[in-house]
């Protein structure tokens, strides 16, 4: 791979896990003015990060910005990331992964929630009425990086040089140092989960609960979360992603769960993991954690390098294309012709990741 040291400076994708995070997702309103306001704002967010971060240098404030497929096209950049596309919904064996709206992601992290909140406030003030907030989830570290199911989350993240190798694009010359990120909100049924024995929970996850040790191969179920999230390339080498999941919850809203966020140099690795989880490997052998954890959102974003993000602010405004319709010549009247429409079943003929099985 290309040495990370030769990359354009990436955004702070691989910054260490913090105690707090905010996952802010917005859609851009219609019209070129809204697109221009969004484009120029994200190109200058780094200045806001410095303004807020300098007020507490030990808080480790960072913000990673992701751009959705439709938004990228509206910004009018001359080139397009090869793997950028809307999140593909999955019709699973028993549980589904929906695709939801999202043009921009702001993944804000710090050791203090007030720092995250202040940066979010300034970003939204700068964006003004050019965007609509569709997700605003504050996340928190739960004890020793556990999820609300009680298990440590993120143990298998790569470390050292492998961290950058997993997270940053190295085979798209125009987008070196960029990344792709997939986000999903998972809402947990804790009452049902807590009725299981610890031993049954460990078989579903594939790790011990207290010590966070992976189960031995001899007793590891084929439908455990660990098994179905272990994917390899054609040479048998394990493919990694970089997760910074966070717990979230509101008893007023009646929802507690895990906010999944996975960065990778290609979204195909995360998409294969999700297909294994929801469809199963083989189909029907799905991830049993989904019996207790429901996906309620799904988005895919491209994360440009810092230089590419800054470049977006220099692009010319994309004005609407004005079309001049030719004058309509009067036509001689004709007798109406009866037509027979072909029968249709109303299908949009959109492909999905559903496997060949009966649900």
Both tokens assigned to 186: 């998972």
Kind plus residue range of the DSSP H or E element containing 162 = helix 161-167
Average pLDDT over residues 90-99: 97
Q: How confident is the model at residue 350 (pLDDT cuts 50, 70, 90)?
A: very low
d(CA 186, CA 297): 8
d(CA 48, CA 40): 13
- Per the model's pLDDT, the better-predicted residue between 237 and 353 turns out to be 237
Average pLDDT over residues 312-319: 87
**Per-residue model confidence (pLDDT) at position 303:** 98
Tell me the catalytic residues. 153
Average pLDDT over residues 138-165: 95
The overall average pLDDT reported for the chain is 90
d(CA 330, CA 116): 63
Q: How confident is the model at residue 329 (pLDDT cuts 50, 70, 90)?
A: low
d(CA 231, CA 209): 23
pLDDT at residue 163 greater than cutoff 70: yes
d(CA 67, CA 72): 6
d(CA 316, CA 176): 23
CA distances (Å), origin 181, targets 31, 68, 118, 306: 26, 10, 24, 16
**Per-residue model confidence (pLDDT) at position 318:** 77
- Per the model's pLDDT, the better-predicted residue between 32 and 5 turns out to be 32
d(CA 354, CA 328): 48
């Amino acid at each position: 791979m290309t040495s990370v040291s030769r990359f354009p400076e990436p955004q702070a994708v691989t910054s260490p896990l913090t105690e707090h995070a905010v996952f802010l997702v917005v859609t851009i309103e219609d019209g070129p003015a809204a697109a221009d306001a969004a484009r120029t704002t994200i190109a200058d967010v780094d200045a806001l990060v410095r303004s807020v971060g300098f007020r507490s240098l030990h808080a480790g404030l960072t913000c990673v910005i992701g751009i959705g497929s439709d938004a990228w096209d509206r910004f009018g950049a001359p080139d397009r990331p090869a793997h950028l596309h809307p999140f593909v919904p999955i019709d699973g064996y028993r549980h589904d992964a929906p695709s939801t709206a999202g043009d921009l992601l702001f993944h804000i992290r710090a050791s203090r929630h007030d720092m995250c909140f202040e940066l979010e406030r300034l970003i939204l003030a700068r964006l003004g009425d050019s965007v609509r907030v569709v997700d605003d989830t504050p996340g928190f570290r739960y004890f020793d990086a556990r999820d609300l199911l009680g298990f440590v989350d993120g143990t298998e993240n790569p470390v050292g040089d492998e961290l950058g190798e997993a997270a940053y694009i190295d085979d798209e010359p125009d987008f070196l140092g960029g990344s792709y990120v997939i986000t999903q909100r998972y809402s947990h049924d804790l009452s049902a989960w807590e009725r299981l024995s610890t031993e049954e929970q460990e078989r579903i996850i594939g790790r011990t609960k207290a010590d966070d040790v992976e189960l031995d191969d001899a007793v590891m179920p084929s439908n455990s979360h660990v098994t179905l999230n272990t994917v390899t390339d054609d040479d048998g080498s394990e493919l990694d992603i970089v997760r910074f999941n966070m717990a979230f919850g509101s008893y007023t809203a009646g929802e507690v769960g895990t906010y999944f966020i996975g960065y990778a140099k290609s979204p195909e690795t995360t998409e294969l993991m999700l297909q294994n989880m929801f469809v199963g490997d083989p189909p029907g052998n799905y991830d049993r954690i989904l019996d207790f954890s429901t996906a309620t959102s799904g988005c895919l974003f491209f994360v440009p390098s810092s230089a590419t993000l800054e470049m977006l602010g220099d692009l010319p405004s994309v004005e609407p294309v004005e079309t001049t319709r030719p004058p309509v010549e009067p036509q001689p009247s004709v007798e109406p012709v009866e037509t027979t429409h072909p029968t249709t079943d109303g299908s949009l003929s959109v492909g999905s990741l559903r496997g060949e099985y009966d649900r």
